[in-house]
Amino acid sequence: MKRRYYILLLVMSLVIGALIVVQGAISTPKNFCLGTKSKLSRINFSGQGRSASLVDPGSLEYLAAQPKLKALPTDMQISDGPSFDATIGISCCGIGTMQALVSSDKKVVRFGYFDSLLSDASFVYVLIGSNAPHPLGECLTFLVDGNATGKEGKRTRF
């Protein structure tokens, strides 16, 4: 009887631990997209046959500081562009994965995240201005124009 009790206790502990980990993986991208807890340590992009890591502190601060828009201004649209899985790391708070779509003109990045385990994706838009740090611009260029950089498929750090 004691053995069953200990097994049940172990299983419940594992389930609770797994839920905590999953919730952290959901809340990290959500917090970034809502503009809270936004001390980024890195963003890893992967997909479309290429992957890149954005680790430049200035670029990460720029992305964290930019307003996260629920809708684009009426004079802007995302024409087309590649989408990527984006794994973000937030200093001392964990990691999480979200979806990133980079516009072909490299002026907009759309991030998709989940509010909860059972919700549909929510989206925010980040406008990339002419004052964006150079490493961020290089990263977006590599993601959109991978062949033009001569680094197709290579893991690249910016």
Task: Give the pLDDT confidence of 52-96 residue by residue, as tens digits.
Answer: 999 999 999 999 899 999 988 888 888 788 999 999 887 666 678
pTM: 0.76
- Positive or negative torsion for Cα 50, 51, 57, 59: positive
Mention every residue, 6+ apart, whose C-beta is less than 8 A from residue 73.
Answer: none
Beta-carbon contacts of residue 130 (< 8 Å; ≥ 6 apart): none
